Amino acid sequence: MKIAVCVSHVPDTATKIKIGADEKMIDPAGVVYIINPYDEFAVEESLKTKEKFGGEVIAVSVGNDNSKETIRKSLAMGVDRGILLKCDRALDSYGIAKALSEELKNYVPDIIFMGKQSVDYDDAIVGQLTSEMLGISCITNVIELKIDGQKITAEREIEGGKEVVESELPIIITTQKGLNEPRYASLKGIMAAKKKEIAEKQVGDFSNLTEVLKIKKPAEKQPGRIVGTDASAVPELVRLLHEEAKVI
């Protein structure tokens, strides 16, 4: 089976966001970058799929040179080889999907995994856009997956429950927490990853369909009042919620 996994290099979720001087990007000073947490489920699922059906897994990332760290991390977990689609300018999700689909249409994967969203821009649409550009199916937000011949049965998380979805290969699966437990890279895996190939290609000249005008911090919430220090404060708290905030 030909398997691809798309990975994204993002600020650690513990990052305190500072707005950059141009107000279009965050200030990268002191920010620790990691593999997008949702992509770890994608890497794990791609490896499990290869273990079951054989074949090859390639990792693809769109980004600058630093994204190689994240590709390398997926190689250490067991991915066979990597491709960095180099791009130093900011792309919107449409541009990223365009870059991925231009590359992946040559590889023709049976199945592509990627996180349901990256934890930086939180758009959660790259998988769907890429599937349209490649003309293949897509199931998002997947927490359980079965592959049986060409047939795919997946469970996806929805409000108040789960949907069981049927579709067929070739397909893009976007992964949600709960799908699996991502493996740790072994020492052997980390050593082996150093020898694995990461091909570099330049991203074409796509124009974005949306444009960032300004990034800003949300209004700081002022700390409120401490109503009390034990259960005797409860009636006053309820009164405030009922009469002042009017939310109960």
Partner 1 sequence: MPKYIIAILEQRENKLKKISFEVISFSKSLSEKLGLEAAAIVIGDEIDNISEINNYGISKVFHFKNKLLSNYSVSAYSDIITEFVKQLDVEYLVLGDTSLGKDLAPRIAARIKAGCVMDIVNINLSEETPIFTRPIYAGKALVDMKFNSDIKVVTIRPNVFKGQKIDNPNTLNIDSKEIQNPNLKTRVIEIKKAEGKLDVAEADIIVSGGRGLKGPENFSLVENLADVLGAAVGASRAAVDAGWRSHRDQVGQTGKTVSPSLYIACGISGAIQHLAGMSSSKYIVAINKDKDAPIFSIADYGIVGDLFEILPALTEEIKKINS
Cβ distance to partner 1 smaller for residue 90 or 191: 90
- Distance CA(203)–CA(61), nearest Å, equals 11
Q: Using CB atoms within 10 A of its CB, is residue 37 exposed (0-12), middle (13-18) or buried (19+)?
A: middle
Smallest distance from partner 1 to CB 63, Å: 17
Cβ distance to partner 1 smaller for residue 52 or 242: 242
Q: Is 135 helix (H, G, I), strand (E, B) or coil?
A: coil
Picking from 126, 88, 81, 135, the residue whose alpha carbon sits closest to that of residue 108 is: 135
Cβ distance to partner 1 smaller for residue 87 or 134: 134
Smallest distance from partner 1 to CB 40, Å: 10
- Distance CA(165)–CA(196), nearest Å, equals 36
Smallest distance from partner 1 to CB 104, Å: 15
Q: Is 3 helix (H, G, I), strand (E, B) or coil?
A: strand
- Distance CA(41)–CA(44), nearest Å, equals 5
Smallest distance from partner 1 to CB 148, Å: 14
Q: Is 195 helix (H, G, I), strand (E, B) or coil?
A: helix
Smallest distance from partner 1 to CB 196, Å: 28
> How is residue 50 written in tokens?
């290869």
Smallest distance from partner 1 to CB 192, Å: 28
Cβ distance to partner 1 smaller for residue 18 or 191: 18
- Distance CA(233)–CA(227), nearest Å, equals 6
- Distance CA(175)–CA(239), nearest Å, equals 44
> How is residue 85 written in tokens?
């689609």
Cβ distance to partner 1 smaller for residue 88 or 122: 122
Cβ distance to partner 1 smaller for residue 106 or 222: 222
Cβ distance to partner 1 smaller for residue 54 or 218: 218
Smallest distance from partner 1 to CB 84, Å: 24
- Distance CA(248)–CA(246), nearest Å, equals 6
